Structure 1
Amino acid sequence: MKNLKNLLIVAVAASIFSCSSDDDNRTIDPGNGGGAITDNELKGEISEDATLLASVDYTLTSSLTVKSGATLTIEPGTVIKAKSGRTDVFLAVERGAKLIAKGTASLPIKFTSDAASPKAGDWGGLVLAGKAKTNKGTDVESEVAGLLYGGTEDTDNSGELSYVIAEYTGAKINGEQEFNGISFFGVGSGTVVNNIIVNNGNDDGIEFFGGTVNVTNVYCANIADDMFDWTDGYTGTINNAFGVRNDGFDAASEDPRGIEGDSNSSDPTAAPISTPTLKNVTILNLNPDVQLKGGAEIRRGTVATIDNILFAAYGTASFGNRIDTNDDKGNGTVTITNAVSQGNVGTDKVGGDIDGTVTEITDGITVTADNTISTKTGIGADLSVFSWANQSFVVVKL
């Protein structure tokens, strides 16, 4: 059995603030990014290489955009608090720019709200743009942050996100525009993304708009809309993904889902077609008051491959559908292997093709009286790899 204890997220800050050479003992100047970093305040445009230091308590007071040609490096253990209650507070990385946010298990990098009582939607989120292919073109404007994305460089490198927590994201601009926790617009496979937590998001957890970036070990907890989402011809791999809605997290869109996969809603045949591969995935609902519309909705031309997935609902929590490939703007196709379901997760709604079957089980995941969640070895996501984040499960109605 692999267990993940019911603990609160602990942000660990480190005092790593300078580097020195053995021969001259000089302190390296982290730079101000061309004026966007003033003491502990972050806003404006990073036009020169700069580093955020773990010893500084940063506040993101407006948009911070890393311009093409510049690199923003963030030290392990850095905590960045975003000004809450505004829609113009976010971190954006242009095509041709890089973000190196390389935390560690003991010193993760954390983006959070500055509110005394933080909530989903307090600020925007992280937005990265790249030069990889999309089926919307090569110079497409992102839904948020006003970045251009797309191109022909599928191996494009936008930097690295490792051991990063983004929480209380999803500020709503209007009825059509909302930030996700982390958005990847045309981001290429040269970008490294692993060990990511998105917690308490008011829209999607992680969304891919085309591109080829691969993601390993990603955890989306308490997401108002879709935990994992893609569109615009995304062709990467998502490996070891865990999505959960806790009891008590009641923020919800009209149709929250575990997975929502689109290719192109205007033309489901547009190339490249979204052909992602998902491996080792768990979608779990613990909230009896909010039904997930679907465990996985694969639609609008998407051709997905899913291997080893667990759909689970605890107690009276439920899904509307388990897998849905039907859509009036184009059906989807999914090849699914080693799939199991547990609890009230609905039935499959087939409009396109579902190649493979989902086996119903009774012991894939358990919740004990102390709110420890256990999953059987080899079924769905491996929860033990997220122990560094000390994530919390909330199951009130035992």
Structure 2
Amino acid sequence: MSPDRAPVGALFRRFRERLAVEGPNRLGGPGSRADHGPKVTASRVPLPGGAGPGARGGRATGADVARAEAEPGPSREAEPRRRRGGRAGGGEPLNVPPAEFTSYYGRPILKPPVWKWDIAAYLFTGGLAAGSSLLAAGGQLTGRPALRRAGRVASLVGVTASTYFLVNDLGKPSRFHHMLRVAKLTSPMSVGTWILTAFGPAAGLAAVAEAAPWLPERGLLGLGRRLLPPAGHAAGLVAAATAPALATYTGVLLADTAVPSWHEAYPELPAIFAGSALASGAGVGLLAAPTAQAGPARRFAVAGAALELWGAHRVENRLGLLSEPYATGTAGRLLRAGRALTAAGVTGALLGRRNRTLSALSGGALLAAALCTRFGIFHGGVASARDPRYTVVPQRERVDRRASEQD
């Protein structure tokens, strides 16, 4: 240490003595520039009443300091309260501007589903297969061969398309096989895979049985001609028994995810998908069967439309903020189109009892309505996952509601 430099302790004691004599105003008091205070030296101590050492031309005396301490000045603690929310002396605002939530570093809280259009198409074709299988069973039990034939063929087409879309989403056909190595009742995907596996062969056998009249009457093929019809009847009933599970499990699958608008609509999604399946099966019957045999198809249309419209109305009005994705954007347009087509299809089905053209148009409208509904539900859930508001706001509302219930 240099011999002409005082120790740090001595400098600190000297500073405390100066501070005791000059007062806190040496660091800048109220009314100073930009609220930071001037750098006051020993010869620049401001005193109340306009008095100051500048009038005497020298340092502040003990009497000046005593008089300055005796006269009260504005409180330093009260000053920020007076200036809160605004600017003081042209300085920066002291309050923090209201924060608007976007997300963590601008990223979504949830990752949007990686599913693409093929899964939305899978939802539609699965419902089509289930509804057509029920229609075929109705035609089989009531002696309507044209209705039975149309339902079985449409069911086979629907389940084949569903398998293709599912495998295409999985990426490799072997992954579908690997999902059959376990059966997990708590996993809708695992249960759905087994349902599809049980439904597919039964629907396929029932559809193949419709080709029995084309086989020759003798030989090995003649044996197939005699055995296929009873086998097809049994297979058709097995497919119809598993059809309700096939039609509704996809709604449970969507509701079991963390996607806000899907998860919150867990009571309605299975009902919507069941109604959509019935309506699509009715559409097949109205398109392919003559009006004299389309009675079950018309009843399917009324029941399916009632379920579908009830569920769609609930998801667009019951969920509060989470109903918004179903009423806006692509999802809103699709669901509105689905409602209009459903109403038109049911009306045409009831009025076209004897008009083949009107009946076929009604069937096409019901199929288009089912397609719009499935795609609308799909796009609504994806939209709710992309916007963090649909994740955070309902969570905060639930926390506040639980806190109020505890109080």
Q: TM-score range by the shorter chain?
A: under 0.3
TM-score where L is the length of structure 1: 0.23
Which is richer in helix? 2
Which is richer in strand? 1
TM-score where L is the length of structure 2: 0.23
The structure having more radius of gyration, on CA atoms, is 2
Greater RCO, 1 or 2 (C-alpha within 8 Å, sep 6+): 2
